[in-house]
Amino acid sequence: MNSNEPLFHLMEISYKYHRTTAVAGITLSIAAGEFVGLIGPNGSGKTTLLRLMSGFMQPYEGKVCLDQIPLDQWPLKSLAQNIAVVPQQVTIPFSFTGKQMVLLGRIPHMGLSTPSPKDHTAAVQSLELIDALDLAERSYNTLSSGEKQKIILAQAMARNSRILLLDEPISHLDIKWQTQTLQLLSQINSQGSTIITAIHDLNLAAIYFPRLVLISQGQLIADGPPSTVLTKQLLEQVYETAIAIHYPFGPKYPQISPMPLEVPTVN
Amino acid sequence: MLKIRNSQKFTIVLLSITLLLSLLIGMSYGSVSISLKTIFTTFTYLFLFSGDAAENRGTIESVILIDIRLPRVLSAALVGASLAASGVLFQGLLRNPMADPYFLGTSAGAALGATLALSLTGAPSLLGWGLVPTLAFAGAIVTVTAVYLMATIDGTTPVIRLILMGFVVSAVLMAVVTLLIVLNSKLQLNLRHLVAFLFGGFGTNNWHQILTLMPVIFIGLAYATATSNILNAFSLGEEAAYNMGIHVRRHKALIIIVGSILTSSAVSLSGLIGFIGLMAPHAARIAIGPDHRPLILASSLAGATFMVFSDLIARIALAPTEIPVGVITAILGAPLLLYLLRNRANTYEF
């Protein structure tokens, strides 16, 4: 493999749900080892873009290549060994324990057989990584949204895949765990994994992601470091709301506050 | 864990012993009591020599045992195991705790098949295999196939569409059954046989039928166990299953095929027996957890045991009148499931 070639290459891809266009001609290259934040308003196409990158959905125009091979030519099992996906939420009809849930993440390595000691080790390790060993024997359906999110993250990490696609992995977490999780992701990234995360929190995105991709109405609006993507003009245009930008952590990390629609009166 | 734990092994051993006991008790009790000693000696002959040799020993008990009791308890166990396993398959695949083996129209298809058979021949059993079980089996398979094809649009078969389509098709077929009963006078004369089929029972099974279906059922059970990781993945939803490298469409179709073959085999042996395919999976899940590998086994064993005992009660409770076994499974099963759900539900969130 030529190391100059991108890991992921999205070429002019479009996707429609019935008649609604969700992704409209996006071209994007992501190199191995990148840590990319995918931002944009609700319904802008972030989740669809991640699904197109996991191969769960096929674009009706254009193609997605991983290692220069179109996704639909990958054997499903090796694709699953390469890419782990963390969906927004997972509901299950019958309640597995936390550890059982994490072990399920090893299915691409297990095939039809029972988990090996290696699978168990990987499951326990990823529970340790997110400090969730105490959830191992708890029933998944009794956990809080934040605890569930941790288990789902551990499930993906147990895969030990080289690519992680995450769909708003911190939306239900408290501020401590939001930063801890992003810290953890950036640590996994520094060990060589490529990570692409849809994220709503622009302020945390600015701090943790070296590269941000801003999409709106299925189109790519901006792509680059936070300082060039998170500008007042672009964000006000895309989010259709007035914002203020300030730089408490330095010029590389813009922080965004929405302007209140009505300024509260202070006595 | 997805590995079978020691406590789970213990439960499965316990269930196996209970099944064995239920088979012995089921063979022993009835209009003629057969002692355990007779059962033992007859089996020794049966295995050491051949069925004929055992029968030629000539005691009435051993003839009753081999020609009546043994096929009866065996088919009860097979039917119980098949319905319980296919209940797990459908609940797991459809991600629905209310699903049972009849969810996709098998029962209505089998009912129509049996109705047609009875209106064609007038005789409940022909050719050793009988037209009723044959058409019931065919009706169930054809119906599920039709439900699956009708639920498939643009190459996708969403679970919710399958469930609704199964419901619609069942309703239509049951209406046709009613219509046939009203219109066909020959069928009205055969109503007793039709009722026996619709409520289920083990009165008319013969060795030929059992020996044909036994390998089919065992292959189905083996497949169900082997596919447990895939069922586990499906419980996270189809997208998650895809992301685990599972060919969603292929495996969904396979699970439906195997579940339907298990159900159809059961229905052709016993007619329609309700509740067990819903109850056994839940009871087993409460005992052993939601991991499908031990669950399929535990559910099959529990279903088999429960069915053998239900049939025994159906035979002896109001003897010489035989109660349709479906009545027993519902009367006994409902309180048992209620008890488990109310008292053990703290370890069992849906």
Q: Which residues of B sit within 8 Å Cβ distance of A?
A: 1-4, 91-92, 95-97, 226-230, 232-233, 235-237, 239-240, 242-247, 285, 289-291, 293, 347-350
Mean pLDDT, all residues of chain B: 86
What is the pLDDT, as a whole number, of residue B73?
A: 94
What is the pLDDT, as a whole number, of residue A130?
A: 86
Q: Which residues of B touch A81 (CB under 8 A)?
A: 245
**Residue contact B233–A103, C-beta within 8 A:** no
Counting one residue from chain A and one from chain B, the pairs whose CB atoms sit within 8 A come to: 102
**Residue contact A107–B247, C-beta within 8 A:** no
What is the pLDDT, as a whole number, of residue A4?
A: 66
The partner residues of A256 in beta bridges, in order of sequence, read: A245
What the block records as the tokens of B182 is 């009203």
Q: What is the mean pLDDT of residues A94-112?
A: 90
Convert the pLDDT of each residue in A170-229 to its tens digit. Answer: 988 889 889 989 998 998 899 889 999 999 999 999 999 999 999 999 999 999 999 999
Tracing tokens 């073959």 back to the chain, one arrives at: B261
Q: Which residues of A touch B244 (CB under 8 A)?
A: 80, 104-105, 107-108
Residue of B nearest to A54 (CA): B243
pLDDT above 80 for A2: no
Cα–Cα distances (Å) from B76 to A225, B196, B310, B336, B349, in that order, read: 69, 15, 9, 19, 31
CA distance A177 to B177: 60
Host H or E run for residue B36: helix B36-48
Convert the pLDDT of each residue in B13-71 to its tens digit. Answer: 999 999 999 999 999 888 788 888 888 888 777 777 665 555 555 678 788 888 888 89
**Residue contact A100–B291, C-beta within 8 A:** yes
Convert the pLDDT of each residue in B269-292 to its tens digit. Answer: 888 998 899 999 998 988 888 999
Q: Which residues of A touch B90 (CB under 8 A)?
A: none
**Residue contact B239–A87, C-beta within 8 A:** yes
CA distance B121 to B124: 8
pLDDT above 90 for B300: yes
**Residue contact B235–A91, C-beta within 8 A:** no
Q: What is the mean pLDDT of residues A111-133?
A: 90
Convert the pLDDT of each residue in B104-113 to its tens digit. Answer: 999 999 999 9
Mean pLDDT, all residues of chain A: 90
In A, residues 124-163, which contact B (CB 8 Å cutoff)? 139, 141-142
Tell me, yes or no, if A109 comes closer than 8 A to chain B by beta carbon.
Answer: no
What is the pLDDT, as a whole number, of residue B2?
A: 46
What is the DSSP annotation of A121-184? HHHHHHHHHTT-GGGTTSBGGGS-HHHHHHHHHHHHHTT--SEEEEESTTTTS-HHHHHHHHHH
Q: Which residues of B touch A55 (CB under 8 A)?
A: 242
Q: Which residues of B touch A110 (CB under 8 A)?
A: 2, 229
Q: Which residues of B touch A94 (CB under 8 A)?
A: 91-92, 97, 235, 285, 290, 350
Convert the pLDDT of each residue in B130-150 to its tens digit. Answer: 788 888 999 999 999 999 999
Tell me, yes or no, if A242 comes closer than 8 A to chain B by beta carbon.
Answer: no
Predicted-complex ipTM score: 0.89
Residue of A nearest to B4 (CA): A114
Q: Which residues of B touch A93 (CB under 8 A)?
A: 91, 95-97, 235, 350
pLDDT above 60 for B122: no
**Residue contact A120–B1, C-beta within 8 A:** yes
Tell me, yes or no, if A53 comes closer than 8 A to chain B by beta carbon.
Answer: no
**Residue contact A96–B291, C-beta within 8 A:** yes
Q: Which residues of B touch A105 (CB under 8 A)?
A: 244
Mutant choice from B234, B243, B247, B295 vs A, greatest count of A C-beta within 10 A:
B243
What is the pLDDT, as a whole number, of residue A264?
A: 65
Sign, CA torsion A102/A107/A110/A113: positive
Question: What 3-state DSSP class applies to A185?
Answer: helix
Alpha carbon dihedral A89, A93, A96, A97, in 10-degree steps, equals: 60
Side chain identity, residue B196? A
pLDDT above 90 for B261: yes
CA distance A155 to chain B (A): 11
CA distance A200 to chain B (A): 22
Residue of A nearest to B94 (CA): A93
CA distance A26 to B28: 74
Q: Which residues of A touch B290 (CB under 8 A)?
A: 92, 94-96, 100
Pick B179 or B127 by higher pLDDT. B179
